[in-house]
């Protein structure tokens, strides 16, 4: 299985499909073929491995696969039937396929008389497939909401000025989080007010290798000279306000993790819709007072309705503090 996971990691780490590897063993236990998945639209790991054998050669073989073989016709598949047709007699896999359409391969294999062993090296496979599994479970990208505020939770002074609240170390950490995300989400309000570039940059302002796709929510027109239009990846514009639907669409585009750097209204809409899995709060030890709070109306009208998160980490970055908290509902 560790070999299968190693093969899996040769495939693309992002996109709609998971990284999957497969090792075929002869009845005597020798490796007779290996395969891995190279991304949406290409052969699944099982089929890739089987394609390296002559007809009949897989008879009585054991297939070791890092993900439960699929049981559906998507862009390809189903692998359950391919394994049965090839005469494989045993299938060992690491994690269940969470897909509503694709799962059920294990049951189908057992029904056909194939011995099935599940859960082998599951922790390692879950680690590899973390973002894909989360997005599959949620039916949308895993959403991290970030803001930077004063100690009293304000994002601007009374006149609206807001540069800079946090220091360089905190801002650098934000760039690392952008680089680690598939998409960065803002609203048109933020594009108009701050003209952010939404790139992931290093200490010296250089572009990092991994760039998130910028996603702009909202209906207000964006000026032709907006910095986001010069992002190395073409921005995605999402009009309308059905956030769950928009996020489901982003997942279809292969976006598994989204980093939301929205202003108070869009951020509140994400919270109100139950679409925030994790919060990154950068607190600068300054006081601003006034009305420019981090979040607009999140629908909490009485204290019993408060949204309680779980603190996962607290870190000092220069003079600022980062608090990471997760939504227990995620």
182 three-class SS = coil
- Of the pair 48, 320, the CB lying nearest ligand AOF is at 48
Q: Is 4 annotated as a binding residue?
A: no
Buried b (16+ CB within 10 A) or exposed e, 168-205: eebbebbbebbbebbbbbbbbbbbeeeebbbbbbeeee
23 three-class SS = strand
Choose the one of Zn ion, ligand AOF, none that binds residue 125, judging by a C-beta under 5 to 8 angstroms depending on kind.
none
Choose the one of Zn ion, ligand AOF, none that binds residue 279, judging by a C-beta under 5 to 8 angstroms depending on kind.
none
Query: Which tokens hold the place of 263?
Result: 């202003």
Exactly one of 44, 146, 178, 256 binds Zn ion (CB under 5 A); that residue is 44
Asked whether position 251 contacts ligand AOF by CB under 6 A, the answer is: no
Asked whether position 75 contacts ligand AOF by CB under 6 A, the answer is: yes
The answer to whether the CB of 255 falls within 8 A of the CB of 146 is no
Q: Is 79 annotated as a binding residue?
A: yes
Q: Is 173 annotated as a binding residue?
A: no
250 three-class SS = helix
User: CA–CA separation, 233 vs 200, rounded Å?
Assistant: 11
Q: Which residues are bridge partners to 34 per DSSP?
A: 23
Exactly one of 97, 261, 277, 320 binds ligand AOF (CB under 6 A); that residue is 97
For residues 12 to 41, the per-residue mask of contacts with ligand AOF, x marking binding by CB under 6 A and - elsewhere, is -----xx-x----------------x--x-
Q: How far apart are the first and last CA of the chain?
A: 29
Asked whether position 22 contacts Zn ion by CB under 5 A, the answer is: no
**Burial group, residue 267, by CB count within 10 angstroms (0-12, 13-18, 19+):** buried
Is 46 among the residues known to form the active site?
A: yes
129 three-class SS = coil
Q: Is 242 annotated as a binding residue?
A: no
User: CA–CA separation, 225 vs 327, rounded Å?
Assistant: 37
Q: Is-cis flag, bond preceding 77, omega within 30?
A: no
Triad 181, 77, 133: Cα angle to 5°: 30
Residues 6+ apart with CB under 8 A from 316: 322
Catalytic residue among 46, 68, 121, 278: 46
- Of the pair 46, 278, the CB lying nearest ligand AOF is at 46
Exactly one of 33, 61, 77, 95 binds ligand AOF (CB under 6 A); that residue is 77
**310-317 and 320-326 strand pairing:** antiparallel
- Of the pair 44, 140, the CB lying nearest ligand AOF is at 44
- Of the pair 94, 279, the CB lying nearest ligand AOF is at 94
The conformation of residue 247, written as its DSSP 8-state character, comes to H
Q: Is 190 annotated as a binding residue?
A: yes
Q: Is 148 annotated as a binding residue?
A: yes
Exactly one of 77, 104, 254, 263 binds Zn ion (CB under 5 A); that residue is 77
Q: Residues annotated in the binding site for substrate, as ranges? A: 162, 178, 198, 201, 261
What residue ranges bind ligand AOF (CB under 6 A)?
17-18, 20, 37, 40, 44-45, 67, 70, 74-77, 79, 97, 99, 102
Query: Which of the residues are catalytic?
Result: 46
Q: Residues annotated in the binding site for NADP(+), as ranges? A: 148, 164, 190, 194, 263-269
Q: Residues annotated in the binding site for Zn(2+), as ranges? A: 44, 70, 79
Q: Residues annotated in the binding site, as ranges? A: 44, 70, 79, 148, 162, 164, 178, 190, 194, 198, 201, 261, 263-269
């Amino acid at each position: 299985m560790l070999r299968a996971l190693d093969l899996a990691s040769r495939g693309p780490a992002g996109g709609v499909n998971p990284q999957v590897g497969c090792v075929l063993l002869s009845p005597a236990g020798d490796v007779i073929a290996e395969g891995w998945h190279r991304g949406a639209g290409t052969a699944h790991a099982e089929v890739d491995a089987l394609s390296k054998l002559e007809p009949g050669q897989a008879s009585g073989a054991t297939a070791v696969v890092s993900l439960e073989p699929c049981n559906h016709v998507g862009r390809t598949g189903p692998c359950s039937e391919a394994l049965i047709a090839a005469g494989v007699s045993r299938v060992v896999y690491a994690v269940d396929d969470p897909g509503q359409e694709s799962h059920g391969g294990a049951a189908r294999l057992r029904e056909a008389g194939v011995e099935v062993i599940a859960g082998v090296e599951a922790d390692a496979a879950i680690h590899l497939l973390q973002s894909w599994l989360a997005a599959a479970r949620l039916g949308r990208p895993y959403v991290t909401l970030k803001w930077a505020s004063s100690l009293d939770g304000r994002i601007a002074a009374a006149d609206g000025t807001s540069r800079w609240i946090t220091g360089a170390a905190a801002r650098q950490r934000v760039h690392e989080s952008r680089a680690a995300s598939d998409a960065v989400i803002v609203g048109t309000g933020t594009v108009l007010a701050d003209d952010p570039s939404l790139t992931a940059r290093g200490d010296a302002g250089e572009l990092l290798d991994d760039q998130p796709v910028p996603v702009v929510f909202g209906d207000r027109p964006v000026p032709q000279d907006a910095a986001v239009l010069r992002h190395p990846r073409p921005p995605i514009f999402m009009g309308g306000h059905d956030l769950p639907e928009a996020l489901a669409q982003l997942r279809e585009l292969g976006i598994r993790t989204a980093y939301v750097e929205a202003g108070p209204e869009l951020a509140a809409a994400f919270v109100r819709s139950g679409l925030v899995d994790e919060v990154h709060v950068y607190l600068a030890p300054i006081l601003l007072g006034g009305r420019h709070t981090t979040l607009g109306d999140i629908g909490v009208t009485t204290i019993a309705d408060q949204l309680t998160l779980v603190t996962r980490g607290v870190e000092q970055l220069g003079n600022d503090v980062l608090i990471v908290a997760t939504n227990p509902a995620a």
